[in-house]
Chain A
Amino acid sequence: MSKTRRQVLRSMAMGASIVGAALLGFFPVLKQWTKRLRPPGAIDEREFLAACIKCGQCVQVCPVKAIRLGDIDEGFGVGTPFIPARAQACDFSCDALQCILACPTGALSHKPSKKEEVAMGVARLDRPEACLARQGKGFQGQARGAAHAGLHRYAEIDRWKAIPVADHPYDLEICDLCVRECPIKDAIALVPLSADPADRRRTPVVAEACVGCGMCEMICPAEPAAIVVDIRRQWRTG
């Protein structure tokens, strides 16, 4: 076999390997190995992966560092932003949807102009048996323990700066953390389980205003969280 012929065959093999390696990125996407909670404004998942230029500008502007970037095990999702709500939720500390404003390609759509218009998902009481309020229990201490690194802005402490959740212990007669720390008005309420005034049991009820920011999921003291966000679920579709 001539030298040139060998070179051309080698080149074709290498080219095919490179394209093949790139196309492996399809699997995690098609199989939805890791379903991710996307930042506010994220457009439809398929289009989101196409539109995102993987620069991480949204990561940089987030005051609570809620946004992380996907790794190569997410295939085409490598370098795309997501919010690991249990570890660090979006609590809209920035007030102005900074991540949306930072996005250069429209992967985070400019359509939502305030936090109430965001639609990342909808919260759902996933493990009612673990919910403290449903057992009529209160809560004392650090919501997620001393080791939890999550940040949250407590307006009554500092209107402008988020502090570690671990630095803000609670003393609650009935645990209402998911309702208390929800950044969206009327998105979640605590409702008595019975008409009996002596019955202390309450249950969190999610309402249509919920945007799926994940704050309730992060703050929930049950382990794992009793309340979680259903990623990308819309209220109307149930």
Chain B
Amino acid sequence: MGMLQSLRVMLGAAPARPTACTLAAQAMHDAKRQVKGAERAREIKAAHAAHKTNKWRNIRWATLIVVNLLFVVSYRFDVQLVEGALTASRVVGFHFADLNSALQVMLAYKTVLINLVIGTATVLVLWWLLGGRTFCSWVCPYHLLAEIAEKIHLVLVKRRLAMDFPLHRGTRTVLYVVFAGLAVVTGYTVFEAISPTGIVSRALIYGPGLALIWVAGLLVYEILFIRRMWCRYICPIGLTYGFVGAVSPVRVTYSLENCLHEGDCRKVCLVPHVLDCTKKSYAEDMRVAIGPDCTRCGLCVDACPTGSLRFEVKGLEKLL
């Protein structure tokens, strides 16, 4: 999938089956068609299930909790490592500004101070290096709450106590434009009033408030009706970071060779459309870099029974 096509998919287009692929990939697709490997596949899956770890999830959750605790501890114990909240902060004195919050402020206020430029540029470089939506799954505190809500949702769905009514993924793109437009037209940072990321981050640092009722309401709605509603279909922060990470060196890479095409990765993925290449005969090449909407959460890396999905730092192998 080309860059433009993967951006289009991020904005809401349905991923299409590629019309052409490399010779090597074609040969592999043909070879896979010949092999009747159901028995072997079962063995591989059983072996993986026996040794399955949640390595990346655990590392990620630990990171997310530590990052958010750094904010809390810095304030509560006056350590001054990370001052502020996720919307804007100073990390050992250096300005950091959340890209989406900064964008909202710039659009609404229509004046840009040098500190904000510095903070925005720093964060831009940071998340470009680390993979854009990595912010979502590795830092955003709402993501963790929503992940827990998702687990409850899946249990309820299994017991037929809840149902998933998925939305169109283009919703997020429309809302992105609407919220940007509202900031310009009204002169207020409209989205910030309901951003669960900002609300939860401030609640952790400065103490809880009524705003948490809104967040709780969102979570209940996600549990009962729409799996991962906010992160999948609404949050403009995710889209902002998606653009930033589109050309990031850190990413998850798919390797066609050993893949069983059984879709365990897509079942755990927040944004399964990015894993379309893992469907049988969909891969365009022997190796495919996963698209910009990927949050680099690593759930698919943990779930893959054949190690066909891995984290990769572009260019690092050449350096080493």
Contacts and interface: CB of A to CB of B under 8 A. Distances in A.
Interface residues of A, number: 44
Interface centre among B85, B192, B193, B234 (most CB of A within 10 A): B193
B188 A56 contact: no
Contacts of A21: 194, 214
A15 B85 CA distance: 27
A79 interface: yes
Contacts of A55: 84-85, 87-89, 101
A50 B90 contact: no
B267 to A, nearest CB: 20
Interface in A13-55: 14-15, 18-19, 21-26, 29, 46-47, 49-55
A53 B87 CA distance: 6
Contacts of A57: 83-84, 88-90
Contact of B111 (A10, A25, A51, A56): A51
A140 interface: no
Interface stretch (B60-68, B203-211, B271-279, B291-299): B203-211
A91 to B, nearest CB: 19
Interface string A66-84: 0001011101101100000
B168 A54 contact: no
Contact of A14 (B171, B183, B190): B171
Nearest to B88: A55
Interface centre among A25, A102, A105 (most CB of B within 10 A): A105
Interface stretch (B150-158, B173-181, B240-248, B255-263): B173-181
Size band of the interface chain B makes with A: 35 or more
A155 interface: no
Interface string B88-121: 1110000101100110010011110101100100
Nearest to A4: B168
Interface string B152-172: 000000000000011110110
Given A25-B190, A56-B205, A72-B193, A11 B115 contact: no
A60 interface: yes
A56 B171 contact: no
Contact of A72 (B95, B102, B105, B211): B211
A99 to B, nearest CB: 12
A56 B202 contact: yes
A138 interface: no
B94 to A, nearest CB: 11
Contact of A69 (B74, B105, B206): B206
Contact of A22 (B75, B190, B205): B190
Contacts of B111: 51, 106
Contacts of B84: 55-57, 60, 104
A195 interface: no
Contact of A11 (B167, B182, B190, B194): B167
A222 B113 CA distance: 43
A19 B178 contact: yes
Given A8-B168, A15-B174, A25-B193, A76 B85 contact: no
A73 B199 CA distance: 13
B90 to A, nearest CB: 7
Contact of B202 (A22, A46, A52, A69): A69
Given A11-B170, A22-B179, A104 B88 contact: yes
Contact of B192 (A11, A26, A54, A102): A54
27 contacts: A11-B170, A11-B233, A18-B234, A19-B179, A22-B193, A23-B190, A25-B194, A26-B188, A47-B187, A50-B188, A53-B105, A54-B189, A55-B88, A57-B83, A57-B88, A61-B83, A71-B210, A72-B199, A72-B209, A73-B210, A78-B199, A103-B115, A104-B90, A104-B116, A105-B105, A105-B113, A106-B111
Given A57-B89, A72-B214, A104-B88, 17 more contacts: A11-B233, A15-B234, A22-B194, A47-B109, A53-B97, A53-B102, A53-B105, A56-B85, A56-B206, A60-B75, A71-B211, A76-B193, A78-B192, A102-B90, A103-B115, A104-B95, A105-B88
